[in-house]
A and B are shown apart, each in its own frame.
Chain A
Amino acid sequence: MSIISLKNIYKSWGDTEVLKNINFECEDGELLVLLGPSGCGKSTTLRLIAGLEIPTSGIVEIGGKDVSDLPPVKRHISMVFQNYALFPHLNVAENIIFGLKARKIPKKEQKKRLENAADLLGLTDFLDRKPSQLSGGQRQRVALGRSIVAQVSVCLMDEPLSNLDAKLRQEMRQEIRSLQQRLKMTMVYVTHDQVEAMTIADRIILINGGVIEQHGTPEELYNYPATAFTGSFIGNPPMNILTPDTQLLQACPSILLPSVDFTAPYLLGIRPEDIEISSDSGMECLVELTEYLGADTLIVCKVEKHSITLTVKGRVAVSAGDQLRINWKVEKIHLFDAANGQRIEHLKGATP
């Protein structure tokens, strides 16, 4: 059963249209990530679900009910904000049960839920502290605690980890994921970090410029990017997107290219990790730059005026200025229509 569904959502401020025809559903117990570059409308989408913004047109449904006209309280959601939004004058315990008191939940029940959440989050020793006496990670946990005690079906998170350092971010990410699975929460999680999205999500919705580029599992987005934008956004380093002009088509052996008529405008996508160095076959190119990253090496090379990035395992003995032959399997090529960026299947029998 889909617990959240957005139907034909448009949102504009004045003349600027921020969201254009957003449609998606989120299943019960799923962790859905809204991913996209800065300013694409992720936060706006989340705030529409929360009821903190009203769509210009369209319908928001939660739990099968149209909630478009309901205030946030009545939508049975909880939310974790980017800056945690903890009340600075209240201690951790009061912060966590703030909403329960507001909703007049019986004292005994409040206490039970508080103890339960503090236990889950390892906050039992900090209940008397003020938010200013906590570390970033602990504050984050308090914000999570507020979500947990609410015992609502849907939890919304807007870049909850963006204020933490890299190591803590990874820990908290795993913690959120395991909590979400243990408590079977439905979660909508906003981030602009594709690594975060790939590791945590059941499904990802990739937004760009207010429209949905693709909605699918991390594997689908990685293996079958629906648009050139998805291809270049997912994966690190990003996918090479090449415009096949005559120079490239000459330089590139035809066995490496899909069998289509290149007089029509196409884009070729190939992931850096799908390219390998070859001694006898493939395309000639000139190494421009190498970066040793430990587990693998990143090589940027040039074919005429096209620049191609590849990664190879371990350390390789190439340096700038060397000639190199690169090779790939043709089925690794992602073909896109240059006019609208849409994916085109070029292999027989391949289904996304």
Chain B
Amino acid sequence: MKSTFQLRYWNHINGWLLVLPAVFMIGLFTHYPIGANIFHSLFSMGTVTRPEVFTGLENYRYLMDDDIFWKVLKNNLVYSMCTVPASISIALGMALLINRNIKGRSLVRMSFFTPTVLPMIAVANIWLFFYTPEYGLFDQVFAFFGGDSHNWLGNPNSALYCLIVMVIWKEAGFFMVFYLAALQQLSPELKEAGLVEGSGGWYYFRRVTFPLLMPTTLFVMVNAVINSFKLVDHLIIMTKGGPDNASSLLLYYIYENAFSFWDTSYAATLTVVLVFILAIITIIQFTVVEKRIHYR
């Protein structure tokens, strides 16, 4: 017979063995890169002739004075502030619409979902055509109503917003699926109780449906925010961050520094900032917001 001490000991070993594969993977692909990245950001850029040297916070000082960094950061904030709420509310609206018993439901559902299954590169190419001056869809529509031709993507004032519209179009369908799944989990009895109690429409949505969807909203929100910082494929196709960095985003700026200018140290520095921003947002979402969510 094993003593209780031995049993507890085995329990611990067992537990660690079970989580070991996960710990290993996360360590290798998440924690080590973050650490290595922070370390790397403390060095100057190395070249063939000049080895990199430790410069401490020199890269961060440079970053504070880098106008492009601030511009790109501001762009990314505008981009997130627009795409996240818009795609979430459109997704919720579409899910509510489809969740009803309307005719041609599966057709509507499919058309809402199609943008999601397309690769970002394909979507970017389609929208590139939409935005083409004179021949593009938007200009043709404007021309029909007697409008002028616009260089949508070439204008620093509109380039970022063009990307925003496209991303909302692509993301909403994906988030809709989560909302739809959550809506179908809600008991129809609740809806009927609502109807009998005198609240069919807006009141019921505000007091019951929306609060019960909060866990889904949190999940979708986290994903939307992270996506808004990590998806930049379309930039490469559509604007390359231009004109004059008017549509550049933080990750694209990192990519440029790392693989166009080969300044990996500065790219590492920017990456540290990005990780820091994402960590803060995630912590806020999972602490402040979660407290106000009812989990069943």
User: CB-defined interface of B173-193 with A at 8 Å, one 1/0 digit per residue?
Assistant: 000000000000001011011
Instruction: State the Cβ distance, A60 to closest chain B Cβ, in Å.
Output: 15
Instruction: State the Cβ distance, B198 to closest chain A Cβ, in Å.
Output: 4
Residues of B within 8 A of A85 (CB): 187, 189-190, 192-193
Q: Does B207 contact A (CB under 8 A)?
A: yes
Residues of B within 8 A of A79 (CB): 192-193, 196
Q: Does A112 contact B (CB under 8 A)?
A: no
Q: Does A52 contact B (CB under 8 A)?
A: yes
Q: Does B279 contact A (CB under 8 A)?
A: no
Would A98 and B195 count as touching, CB distance under 8 A?
no
Q: Does B157 contact A (CB under 8 A)?
A: no
User: CB-defined interface of B190-212 with A at 8 Å, one 1/0 digit per residue?
Assistant: 10110111111001100110011
Residues of A within 8 A of B193 (CB): 79, 81, 85, 87, 146
Residues of A within 8 A of B198 (CB): 73, 99, 102-103
A83-B187 contact given A88-B294, A89-B212, A98-B207, CB 8 Å threshold: yes
Give the docked Cα–Cα distance between A81 and B196 (Å).
11
List the 9 shortest-distance A-B pairs measured between CB atoms, nearest first. Answer: A99-B197, A89-B294, A85-B193, A102-B199, A73-B198, A85-B189, A102-B198, A72-B196, A79-B196
Instruction: State the Cβ distance, B265 to closest chain A Cβ, in Å.
Output: 50
Residue ranges of A at the interface with B (Cβ–Cβ < 8 Å): 50-52, 71-73, 77-79, 81-83, 85, 87-90, 98-99, 101-103, 130, 132, 146, 150
Would B195 and A72 count as touching, CB distance under 8 A?
yes
Residues of B within 8 A of A99 (CB): 196-199
A81-B296 contact given A73-B198, A87-B208, A146-B197, CB 8 Å threshold: no
Residue ranges of B at the interface with A (Cβ–Cβ < 8 Å): 187, 189-190, 192-193, 195-200, 203-204, 207-208, 211-212, 294, 296
Residues of A within 8 A of B211 (CB): 89
Residues of B within 8 A of A90 (CB): 207
Give the docked Cα–Cα distance between A150 and B198 (Å).
10
Give the docked Cα–Cα distance between A175 and B129 (Å).
71
A73-B192 contact given A89-B294, A98-B207, A132-B296, CB 8 Å threshold: no
A73-B189 contact given A88-B212, A98-B207, CB 8 Å threshold: no
Give the docked Cα–Cα distance between A52 and B203 (Å).
19
Residues of B within 8 A of A89 (CB): 208, 211-212, 294
A52-B195 contact given A85-B189, A88-B212, A88-B294, CB 8 Å threshold: yes
Would B199 and A78 count as touching, CB distance under 8 A?
no
Q: Which residue of B lies closest to A83 (CB)?
A: B189
Would B294 and A52 count as touching, CB distance under 8 A?
no
Residues of B within 8 A of A81 (CB): 189, 192-193
Give the docked Cα–Cα distance between A130 and B192 (Å).
20
Give the docked Cα–Cα distance between A89 and B199 (Å).
17
Would A50 and B197 count as touching, CB distance under 8 A?
no
Partner of B199, one of A88, A98, A150: A98
Give the docked Cα–Cα distance between A103 and B199 (Å).
8
Given contacts A71-B195, A82-B189, 15 further A-B contacts (CB under 8 A): A72-B192, A73-B197, A73-B199, A79-B196, A81-B193, A87-B207, A87-B212, A88-B296, A89-B208, A89-B294, A99-B197, A99-B199, A102-B203, A146-B193, A150-B197
Among the interface residues A77, A88, A90, A99, which one has the most CB atoms of the partner chain B within 10 A? A88
Give the docked Cα–Cα distance between A102 and B207 (Å).
10
Residues of A within 8 A of B200 (CB): 71, 73
Give the docked Cα–Cα distance between A81 and B197 (Å).
12
Residues of A within 8 A of B196 (CB): 50, 52, 72-73, 77-79, 99
Partner of B190, one of A73, A87, A101, A130: A87
Among the interface residues A83, A87, A146, which one has the most CB atoms of the partner chain B within 10 A? A87
Q: Which residue of A lies closest to B214 (CB)?
A: A89
Instruction: State the Cβ distance, B83 to closest chain A Cβ, in Å.
Output: 28
Q: Which residue of A lies closest to B208 (CB)?
A: A87
Partner of B192, one of A52, A78, A146: A52
Would A73 and B208 count as touching, CB distance under 8 A?
no
Q: Which residue of B lies closest to A97 (CB)?
A: B197
